[in-house]
Structure formats: C-alpha cells, structure tokens
Chain A
Amino acid sequence: MCVVRRTWDWAAGMTNTLHRYGSGESFNDDYIVFAIPARGINDKGAVEKQRRFLEIARKHKPINMGDASHGSIFRPSKELNPTVHWRRDPKRDFDTVVNCVSCPSTVAAVFDNPDQVVAFIKELRQEDLGLSINISAALDKAQECARRAGLERHSVEYSLGFFGQTDRMADRHTLELSTMCGHGMLSFDFVRKLVEWVKQGRRSPEQASATLARFCSCGVFNPTRACRLFEEARRVGPGISRSS
C-alpha cells in the first residue's frame, strides 16, 4: 500500500507560474523570481542558500514571498476567534517564510516593479548562491531585466496557452485571478464570489486579494495585480464575471 507523506525531505520545483492568464500589458506589474536547486546535483546545503535568497529578496520589498513546501507570507489560521469577522489581521508574515525553510524546495519572491527585480538579481549575482535563478514574467520584460543586470538568459520556457475543451474555462477576469495560483487552488467559483463581493462593496480589492493569497501556498500569488484586476472588474459593471 502506498501512502502520502509531506515533502519534508525534498520538494520539487513546481511554482507553476508558466500559464498565468492575461495579455502582455496585464503582466506589467508581475515578476516572480525563484530559486531552485537541482535534485541530486546541488541540493546539498541548499536550505541555507534558499534562506539567504529570501533574506536578500526581503530587502528589495517583494509583495509576496513563499516556500513551496511551507507557505507564503499570507497564511490561513487554524485558531481564529470570532472577532476576525470584524477585524482581520492583515499581517504579512515574512519571518515565518524565511524561518520555515527546512528542505530543498522552490522559494519565490514576487515583485510589481522591474527596477526592484534588477536590483535583486544584481545582488544575487554578487552573492553567487549557485542555485538556479529564474524569472517568470512576460518574456520580453524578463529578458530586459536580465540584461539590465548584466546577464543573458541561459534557457527559456514558453507558455503556448490552452488546448482542448477551453469552453470549460471561466471568463477573462476570473481566469486572470484564478491562474495566479498555478496549482489550481483558486476555484473559479470562489474567485467569482469575491469579484461579486468587491462589486457589491462588501470587501475591498485589498481584502479580496489577501483572501485569495491565503489559498496559494507557494507564495507566487501577486496581490498588487489582483487588486488591479478586482478594481477593473468592479469598473466593468455587474454580471461580467459570470460571462464566459
């Protein structure tokens, strides 16, 4: 019999940010920089290097940060008390992300500004961690960041989009928000519900973004982009989030 266990020993790189839905313009504020060791090659001693990656990232003011095995700066709580329904603590827990790295994994930092990305990569070059560093973003913007940091790209992976029964997918706003968790933890229905709540004024875009971010355990969800998308959906008017 096989059993499922947590990946304390080694968690693979599956940030799954490749197929984020949106136009090129929609990714202007979306840059994910992640570090990953190669299993069996340079994963020994990777934990300390990954912590260092996150510490350096933190200096450059990321809008999210996470470890694929242990969660992001936005965390659900298993011990809430009822006051949470009136006063939810918007705390972003950077310390826990850094301190919880305990196995070779993928660690990621999300930025909404290319200048911060360039400065971060320059510092990573100086630090010479030896881990593979990737940028997940619009390809032209990622290449521009690399060149500004004095690097040429080594390899590139392209998203060719969706094939098959694409009529089973949701509308544009829902997809743009839902695909910010590439592991599929953000259901179409939940995204639609929050879009409706923002439209009805029951939640602000910031509150709705933080709610979605708590479901993305890798820390690659972009709350800045999400706020913008919620705001856009609100301006479009009622009902649009339900159309396919």
Chain B
Amino acid sequence: MQIDQQKCVACGNCVPVCPMGAISIDPVRNRAGVNADECVECYTCYRGMSMEKLNPVLVRTIRGLLKVFRLRFDPEPDVCPTSAITPDELTWPRVVRRAFSDPQVTHESTGVHGRGTEEVKTNDVTNRVGLGEVGYVVEFGRPTVGVRFRDIEKMTRALASIGIEFESRNPVTHLMTDKKTGKLRDDILNEKILSAIVEFKTRIENVPAVLQKVDDISKTLDTVVAVGVSTRCAEDGSSALDPVLVEEGFSFVRGKTNLGLGRGND
C-alpha cells in the first residue's frame, strides 16, 4: 500500500487504522508514509476507510489556518479527505501478504480461498472430522499482531516431527515444499502477514501431546497463536472432547456449533 504524496494532507486518520502500525506521519515532509516491510497488504486502510475527494491544496490551506489560530477540526476518524490511499501492484513473493491478510481475496498459488478451509463448519456434509477424531486450527498472528512465515515454519516442522499430516486444502500446506517435514518455500519465509492457519486432525487420544507441542513451540515464536479444536458430537449432542480438554486444564467458553442441517445436492 502507498500514500499518494501529492494528495496526502497529513490529517493522520489512517495512522491508527493500520493493524500493523505501519503508517506514520513524516514530520519533515508532513506527509503520511507506509513502512513497506511492516505492511501486510491487508487493505484495511484502503477498503475500510471512507473517502472524500477534496482538493489537497485547499485542505492543507484550511488546516494551516486552523493551526495558526490553535483551532482543531474534529473530523470523522475513518475518513481520508483526499482519497490518498493507493494500492500497489503486487508481485511474487509480496503478493502472498495480501492473500493471507485481506479477507476478500484469494491467491492463485494456493488454489484455496482464504486463510483456512471450511474446518468443521461443513462437517455435517463433508464428515471431515469423524467420531473419535479431532480437528485442529492453529492460527498465527491474530489478533492484530502479525506473523512472518519463518515463525509458522517452526511450528509446521515441529508438528511434522511428531507425525502430523497437514490438511491438503489449506493454503499454508500449499506453500510447503515438503509436507512430510513441514518445510515452507524459502522465498516467502520473510514475508509478514496478518494471520495464517495451519490445519490437521488426529485421533482424540493424541490431543494432550499435540496441544503440549503447540504450547511449547508457541513460546518460541515472536507472535501469538490462537488454537481451536473440533470434533463430531454423539447423537445426544455430547462431545467426547469435553473431558479431555478439562483434564488438560483448558477452560472453554466460546465456540462454533454445527447444527447438522447441511446435506449434499440432491
């Protein structure tokens, strides 16, 4: 992402909007700029902010006059007055940033849309996670911290070392050069993204060991890791995962509940 230097009036509205804190005002040039290394191409500034198309010279003049008289205009906080936020033309490998950061786009290299798959949300149709099995979604970088692929690779390598098989339709799996070892492509390792999800499943008896491994490796990463686990319920709606998680010391309040109303096309 770029800020058009001809249009920017240094109002500062876009500065706090950036989830990565990558936008700042240059005090010498009095214009906003984007730290390209920290920008994850999430398009939050470009798409989330509303835009006016005011004349930049006029806006700067008015702002200058108000400043002389120590007056402050109280604008809407999510408006760019001169439509100065401008997307870049992205090429490989930087294009990976947007694919994993902007929820409204996909990436042709992965062949999969979004940061993850349908998980257990369509389990009533796909039966991806069966009785006695547990699906895992290990997400890096959320909320609003960000992550580089080299940190994700530390986790995928560690999980592969205990025999984990990664979900084949997941975008991170598509970026692996060796799914047996969890090795990711070298040319993306330094790319920073808003978040990415690694998915896999195991038998329920493996849950304690897997969660312990995730916890151990997470402590070595320069980001936060959000973990979700899922399973198929019994006929009466009970979940065999409840006692396992309690035994492991987890408290769980929030989750997704699949109501079982899905079915294949007739």
* Cβ contact within 8 Å between B125 and A17: no
Task: Say yes or no for B64: interface residue by CB 8 A criterion.
Answer: no
| Chain A interface size, under 10 / 10 to 19 / 20 to 34 / 35 or more | 35 or more
Partner of A19, one of B50, B254, B263: B254
Q: Is B204 an interface residue (CB 8 A)?
A: no
The dominant DSSP class at the B interface is loop
**Number of B interface residues in the complex (CB < 8 A):** 106
Q: Nearest chain-A residue to B142 (Cβ)?
A: A184
- B49 contacts A by Cβ under 8 Å: yes
Q: Is A184 touching B126 in the complex (CB atoms < 8 A)?
A: no
Partner pick for A163 among B119, B123, B215, B229, CB 8 A cutoff: B215
Q: Given A152-B237, A161-B226: A14 and B115 within 8 A (CB)? A: yes
Considering the chains assembled together, what is the distance between the CA atoms of A34 and B75 in angstroms?
35
Q: Report the bound CA distance from A21 to B50 in whole Å.
A: 27
Determine the residue in chain B with the shortest Cβ distance to A77: B50
Chain B: which residue is nearest A11 at the CB level?
B113
B228: chain A residues at CB < 8 Å are 18-19, 157-160
Q: Say yes or no for B167: interface residue by CB 8 A criterion.
A: no
Nearest Cβ distance between residue B215 and chain A, in whole angstroms? 6
What's the Cα separation between A104 and B19 when bound, in Å?
28
Would you call B182 an interface residue if the criterion is a C-beta within 8 Å of the partner chain's C-beta atoms?
no
Q: Least Cβ distance of B32 to chain A in Å? A: 14
Inter-subunit contact A36/B257 (CB<8 Å): no
Does any Cβ of A come within 8 Å of B208's Cβ? no
A-B contact count (CB 8 A): 365
Choose, from A90-98, A187-195, A224-232, A233-241, the stretch at the interface: A187-195
Contacts of B256 in A (CB 8 A): 17-18, 134-136, 142, 156-157
Among candidates A156, A159, A168, residue contacting B257 with C-beta atoms closer than 8 Å: A156
Is there an interface contact between B144 and A211, defined as CB atoms closer than 8 Å?
A: no
B259 at the A interface (CB under 8 A) = yes
Contact B227 A161 (CB under 8 A): yes
Which one of B1-9, B89-97, B157-165 is at the interface?
B89-97
B92 surroundings in chain A (CB, below 8 A): 1-2
B231 CB, nearest partner CB in chain A, Å: 7
The answer on a CB contact under 8 Å between A155 and B231 is yes
Contact between chains at B18 and A187 (CB < 8 Å) = yes
**Shortest beta-carbon distance, A69 to chain B, in Å?**
6
Q: When A76-B50, A125-B261 are in contact, do A218 and B103 touch as well, CB less than 8 Å? A: yes
Identify which of residues 223-237 in chain B touch chain A, using a CB-to-CB cut-off of 8 Å. 223-233, 235-237
Closest to B79 in A: A80
Closest approach, in angstroms, between the C-beta of B18 and any C-beta of chain A?
6
Q: In residues 142-180 of chain A, which contact B (Cβ within 8 Å)?
A: 142-143, 146-147, 149, 151-166, 168-170, 175, 178-179
Chain A residues in 8 Å Cβ range of B250: 158, 160-161
Question: Which residues of A does B touch, CB under 8 Å?
Answer: 1-7, 10-14, 16-24, 27, 34, 36-39, 41-42, 44-45, 68-69, 76-82, 84-85, 88, 106, 121, 124-125, 128-139, 142-143, 146-147, 149, 151-166, 168-170, 175, 178-179, 182-190, 192-194, 197, 202-203, 211, 214-215, 217-218
